[in-house]
Amino acid sequence: MNYRITYAPPADDTLAKMRDAHAFREAMAATIGRDPYGHGSVGVRGERDRREATVLGAIVLYYVSGSVLTVTVVRLVPSL
């Protein structure tokens, strides 16, 4: 089962500035998009659907909506 990945405006702005944005999107689809509760992700502040993970060296904060199979990236901190 694959989840659709969307980016909130702040995360989308950061993604647009990343030089490896295409590779990052592909990595997100292959990892978080397939298993948003896996890939070494952890719940944030005790919430199961509010998650944080590292993908291609970038820290990703996202929400999972299981009822509509969507992952929304709300914050993205790229690696230096």
pLDDT digits (tens, 9 = 90+) for 15-30: 999 999 999 999 999 9
| pLDDT for res 80 | 64
Confidence grade of residue 79 (pLDDT, cut at 50, 70, 90): confident
Q: What is the pLDDT of residues 24-68, one digit of tens each?
A: 999 999 999 999 999 999 999 999 999 999 999 999 999 999 899
Look-up of token digits 């992700």? 41
CATH of the domain at 11: 3.30.2310.20
Total domains in the fold of the chain:
1
CA dist 6 and 29 (Å) reads: 11
Residue numbers of the domain that contains 49: 4-77
Strand order through the sheet with 70-77: 4-7, 70-77, 58-65, 47-55, 42-44
φ and ψ at 74, to 5 degrees? Answer: -105, -20
Q: How many CB atoms lie within 10 A of CB 25?
A: 17
